[in-house]
Amino acid sequence: MQKLSEIEVGKIDTGYRPTGMISSFGEGNAPIYIMLSRLIWPVTKGEGNMDLTAIKNPAFLKEMSNEELKDLAASIRKFLIEKLSTTGGHLGANLGVVELTLALHKAYNSPQDKFIWDVGHQAYIHKILTGRTADFDTLRQYKGMCGFPKRIESEHDVWETGHSSTSLSAAMGMAVARDMMNEKYDVVPVIGDGALTGGMALEALNNIGDEKKNITVILNDNEMSIANNVGALHHVLGRMRSAGKYNRAKDEMEALLKRIPAVGGKLATAAERMKDSMKYFMVPGMFFEELGFTYFGPVDGHDLRDLEETINYAKKTNGPKIIHVVTQKGKGYQPAELDKTDNWHGVGPYKIESGEKITSGGAAPAWSKIISDAVLEKARTDKRIAVITPAMILGSKLDNFKREIPDRLFDVGIAEQHATTMAAGMATQGVKPFLAIYSTFLQRAYDQLLHDIARQNLNVFVGIDRAGFVGADGETHQGVFDISFLRAMPNFTIMMPKDENEAQHMVHTALSYEDGPIALRYPRGNGLGVKMDEETHNLPIGSWEVLQEGTDAVILTFGTTIPLAQEARASLAEDNISVRVVNARFIKPMDEAMLHEIFASGLPVLTIEEAVLKGGFGSGVMEFAEENGYNAASVRRMGVPDYFVEHGSVPEQMAEIGLTKEGVSDKVRQMIRFNEQQRA
Ligand SMILES: Cc1ncc(C[n+]2csc(CCOP(=O)(O)OP(=O)(O)O)c2C)c(N)n1
């Protein structure tokens, strides 16, 4: 790994030169030196070189001067930029909260006081300050440090996250528990402006403000969700930001307004109204004030002194309060500061000097792009097609759609429940919604899928992105539950393609299907690079495809695990074991004609799925056997057992649960032996 200290700053070519600034500095190396040192990282001798591995807990912060804290902030930025350039991780959000995290840990006493990091992707500095610097070598790697807060990692991680907008509800729960048990500590949720758009956060604000619980909400407003934030609330925050700082002046303001002389009758009412509107105009946080919170801010989230002063002032106020902190995502690393897309939200390895990504991805397009392009292609001619995304335009590769047909693309913010019911509403009026949601976030919308879409049997096309293992994001993000929860819902059709060509036919099928909801699962990562048919067509609903014939056993599988089954088949063939491999592309409904034929043959049946076994596809096959009087004991299932699989690479996660060529081959051998014993 290249060390920042080894780089001669005067010679750095960042590849990013804001021309306006350079010209204002004139020519030569020295001016560029100044610009880089200010924008990228402090390079002045003695700055940014603290040994972070020496930190065991945050107590030392109490004694630090402002200058020392600045040096520490610089050291942390330098460390993160260096370290993440090899491990990858959530760079942008963390660079934005360096000073904020220092100020919080200085002002409060963790773990007695409880920090709750919403989403949790921005907790790296918290991890450094709580003694985990050395573990960054294994960040998000198999058996290494988790990329999110993790209770078993540290007593300072009091709440685990990954999904957004849970922090305020958790804070309310802790505050209630604290008060019930007559304990004294502060509860401090840190929530981003993106996460604040999530329904849960708004439900919690509503409740906390009413219950008047002593909770200090830190609103980390960087104007970005993964990319630019959206929504009316975003505009409300924008007005607060531009209104200027407002801390303790509110009481003075009210006193001032009260001094406006009283007048009688209608004039008095008009004067009252005027006072109110003046108050709204002059008090930036009135939105939160009206909800029962005391508002502080907006505070410059990179000004340690301002942060410290405001937090200490807020600590003196009882009841619910909100400190509005304005930060910059990617602060201190110019490529990240300048890029307003999702590029620096979650990163893989990159070159520090240029910000250029070191990609290892395949040449084929990403699955999300394959699907969104296929939907766009259909939407060009079918004006009834519209797309809904809960804050994932870039992740779901819907940017092309947005560019080409912006009036039929709806980004609703981090609001999966709303997105799902909105799709249902559109479908009632003849629109064909494509609802693109990551499998893991679709969990949020269980009831909306069931109550609003499935029950009303509405023609909604659900694109289930990141289906299967997701790798480094780990257990909070695995897309392994959707089959089990969707399969239980009447009316739902569920499909998963074996390759991108089949995927485009599935998109065609879904958008021409008019018999109820239909879901298409597709994994994280890239397609296989197969040849695409010129024309797309309907696939018969519930039809499977025999990929390879065999006479000793049958493997039923779909999507990502088809190549695995085929590899196992090839290795078994070396021992003269002949296996039939079936592409069970419709998970629901299943190909019943083929299942009758398979069970009637008496061959052992192995199901493989990159999804939980409980209630999964294999369970469906066993249910079929049981319901039709076949021997369910001839079925064996491979998939995700009954525990949460942690972070690592996808191959490591697959290996952990036995989904390897050897694992599958062994299972088939065992099954054949068992079947022969049964017959004997
Ligand atoms: C329920 C849910 N939906 C979507 C996501 C994906 N996601 C992760 S971070 C993020 C943006 C969060 O924005 P914000 O809270 O402002 O934090 P920032 O990254 O800007 O610091 C989103 C949409 C998620 N984690 N959880």
Beta strand pairing status for 586-588 and 114-117? Answer: unpaired
In a mutational test of the pocket of ligand 1, which residue from 414, 417, 443 has the highest number of ligand atoms less than 8 Å from its CB? 414
| Residue 602 CA to ligand 1 centre (angstroms) | 50
pLDDT one-digit tens code per residue, 519-557: 999 999 999 999 999 999 999 999 999 999 999 999 999
Q: Is the pLDDT of residue 494 over 80?
A: yes
Residue 119 CA, closest ligand 1 atom number = 25
- Using the atom order of ligand 1, give the atom closest to the CA of residue 90: 19
Mean pLDDT of the chain: 89
Q: Whose CA is nearest to atom 9 of ligand 1?
A: 226
pLDDT of residue 445: 98
Give the confidence band of 653 by pLDDT, cuts at 50, 70, 90. Answer: very high
Say which residue, 282 or 409, is predicted with more confidence.
409
* Most ligand 1 atoms within 8 A of CB, residue of 225, 339, 448, 478 to mutate: 225
- What length is written for the chain? 680
pLDDT at 273: 63
3-state secondary structure of 120: coil
Q: Which secondary-structure segment (H or E) carries 487? A: helix 482-487
Q: Which residues line ligand 1 (CB under 6 A)?
A: 93, 119, 121-122, 163-164, 192-195, 220, 222, 224-226, 329, 391, 414, 416, 441, 444
Lowest mean pLDDT of 31-35, 296-300, 461-465, name the range: 31-35
pLDDT of 283:
66
Percentage with pLDDT > 90 across the chain:
80
Q: Is the pLDDT of residue 480 over 70?
A: yes
pLDDT band at 450 (very low <50, low <70, confident <90, very high): very high
DSSP state, 246?
Answer: B
Q: Identify the residue with better confidence: 629 or 27.
A: 629
- With a cut of 90, say whether residue 160 has pLDDT above it: yes
pLDDT above 60: residue 625: yes
pLDDT at 145 over 90: yes
- What beta strand segments (E) does 23-95 contain? none
What residues are annotated to the active site?
329, 416, 444
Specify the pLDDT at position 363: 79
Position 118, amino acid: D
CA–CA gap between residue 79 and residue 288 (Å, rounded):
36
d(CA 579, CA 549): 7
Q: What is the pLDDT of residue 255?
A: 62
Q: Which amino acid is at 387?
A: V
Closest atom of ligand 1 to CA, residue 118: 15
Least confident of 260-264, 302-306, 449-453, 598-602: 260-264
**Is the pLDDT at 117 greater than 70, yes or no?**
yes
pLDDT at residue 228 in the model: 84
Distance 195 CA to ligand 1 centre (A): 6
Query: Given this model, what pLDDT does residue 9 score?
Result: 29
Average confidence (pLDDT) over 14-24: 27
| Model confidence band, residue 286 (pLDDT cutoffs 50, 70, 90) | confident
79 CA distance to ligand 1 middle (Å): 24
CA of 492 to the centre of ligand 1 (A): 28
Which pLDDT does position 678 carry in this prediction? Answer: 80
22 pLDDT more than 50: no
Q: How far apart are CA 201 and CA 206, in angstroms?
A: 9
Whether the per-residue pLDDT at 11 is higher than 70: the answer is no
- Spatial strand order in the sheet of 114-117: 114-117, 187-192, 216-221, 321-326, 294-300
For residue 227, name the pLDDT band (cuts at 50, 70, 90): confident
Q: pLDDT band at residue 226, thresholds of 50, 70 and 90?
A: confident
Scanning the structure block, which residue is given the tokens 């402006």?
193
Ligand 1 pocket test target in 164, 234, 412 with most atoms within 8 Å of CB: 164
- Contact (CB, 8 A) for 257 and 279: yes
Mean pLDDT for 271-291 is: 68
Taking the centre of ligand 1 as the mean of its atom positions, its distance from the CA of residue 119, in whole angstroms, is: 6
CA angle, corner 328, sides to 324 and 332, nearest 5? 140
Two tokens, residue 67: 């200058």
**Predicted pLDDT of residue 676:** 85
Pair 95, 222: CB distance under 8 Å: no
Find the mean pLDDT for residues 17-40: 30
pLDDT recorded at residue 84: 97
